[in-house]
Amino acid sequence: MNALLAANAVAAVASVAFALVGGVRPAALSESGTPSAGERFYGWMYANRAVPLGVAALVAPVVWPGPAGSLLLSAAAAAQAGDAVIGIATRKWTMIAGASLLTVIHAATAAATA
């Protein structure tokens, strides 16, 4: 169980880090030379969702064990699954792999802490 909690913590921190990079330097994730105003806007929109959800996924299993924490982790898993689908649609293999792995980790932690 401790290994799963540690993996969940690493996954949540990674999610927050990528969200902040997407907000601060959207071209780093979109692979465009110079980000457009739209990229910057959507980078911050993504960070606005992902940072609080990532922080919640980080603390949920410890602070709210049981149904409440499991619900938060399930929401984080669903968001990561959505990111994986976006990766599939845009053929970004690193996004597919990363988001899929985080989906599995959050979902397994949700099931283990329910």
Task: Scan for tokens 């099931």, then name that residue.
Answer: 111
| Claim: this prediction has a pTM higher than 0.85 | yes
Q: Which long-range contacts (C-beta less than 8 Å, at least 24 apart) are formed by 34-41? A: none
- What is the extent of the structural domain holding 15? 2-113
Alpha carbons 92 and 94: distance in angstroms, whole number = 6
Would you state the structure tokens that stand for residue 79, as one six-digit string?
């968001």
The closest alpha carbon to 50, from 93, 15, 92, 97, belongs to 15
Rg of the chain (C-alpha set): 14
68-79 pLDDT tens trace:
999 999 999 999
pLDDT tens digit string along 99-113?
999 999 999 999 999
Indicate the SS3 state at residue 45. helix
**Number of folded domains in the chain?**
1
